[in-house]
Amino acid sequence: MHQQLEGRLPLVAILRGLEPTRAVEVAEAVVAAGFDILEVPLNSPEPFVSIAAIVEALGRRALVGAGTVLKVEEVDELDAIGARLVVSPNCNPPVIARSARHGMVSLPGVVTPSEMFTALDAGASGLKIFPAELFAPSAVKAVRAVLPASEPIYMVGGIHAGNMGEYLAAGAAGFGMGSALFKPGKSIAEISRDAAAIVAAFRAAEAG
């Protein structure tokens, strides 16, 4: 596990569609609820502006970066603004390797065992199984048996309080939470409420 992931709550706040004018207040709300890994997908409005603002405000308290990172040039731009997290929907070895070279956390999207080992060989910090709906807990248990024990698996897509426990028992380390946590237009009060509920659900699932 990458040292920047150690000791953090293994829940990634996926803030897709976040606008720069709301970036800091939304990020502060989810961090206050217990999240400390934040991802702004690059298909959001002016994502680098939002990420830079969040890094400045919360970079010492949270691991902040981008999702939907598809190009090495985007990795370089993220590094330049102080982001430390690179999340991708796919397994792109050059993007993973560039992230590792910058000392950033790289969580590429994978589904097959071949993609998983390709990602790890390229320097991935952990694996994002996406979409999780295609991957039952029994499948997680099967691949967990052959993957290095130190490499965390994050499930993304269709995750809710009712299935967290099954995935954790199968060997997943944590989850990415998107529309259940944030969507454009959602109020800060609603974001705070839902973020706290997700953290509580994870804690309960973790406790068994």
Question: Tell me, what's the pLDDT at 208?
Answer: 83
Average the pLDDT over each of 17-21, 60-64, 79-83, 158-162 and give the range with the smallest value. Answer: 158-162
- Asked if 50 contacts 19 with a C-beta cutoff of 8 angstroms, the reply is yes
Mean pLDDT to the nearest integer, 139-146: 97
What lies within 8 Å, CB to CB, of 185 at 6+ separation is none
What lies within 8 Å, CB to CB, of 7 at 6+ separation is none
Number of domain units in the chain: 1
Residue 159 resides in a domain? yes
Residue 22 resides in a domain? yes
Mean pLDDT to the nearest integer, 156-180: 96
Asked about 39 being catalytic, the answer comes back as: yes
What lies within 8 Å, CB to CB, of 180 at 6+ separation is 159, 160, 194, 198
Residue 177 resides in a domain? yes
CA atoms within 13 A on the CB side of 186: 24
Question: Tell me, what's the pLDDT at 2?
Answer: 84
Question: Tell me, what's the pLDDT at 78?
Answer: 98
Residue 6 resides in a domain? no
Catalytic residue among 6, 71, 128, 141: 128
pLDDT category at 7 given cuts 50, 70, 90 is very high
Domain that holds residue 55: 11-207
Catalytic residue among 6, 28, 39, 71: 39
Residue 1 resides in a domain? no
Query: Strands 37-41 and 109-110: what pairing?
Result: unpaired
Residue 3 resides in a domain? no
Residue 4 resides in a domain? no
Asked about 166 being catalytic, the answer comes back as: no
State yes or no: pLDDT of 173 exceeds 90. Answer: yes
pLDDT category at 89 given cuts 50, 70, 90 is very high
pLDDT category at 88 given cuts 50, 70, 90 is very high
CATH number of the domain to which 43 belongs: 3.20.20.70
Residue 178 resides in a domain? yes
pLDDT category at 187 given cuts 50, 70, 90 is very high
Query: How many Å apart are CA 117 and CA 126, to the nearest integer?
Result: 11
Q: 66 is written with which tokens?
A: 């981008």
The pLDDT tens digits of the residues spanning 33-51 come to 999 999 999 999 999 999 9
Give the type of residue at 182. Answer: F
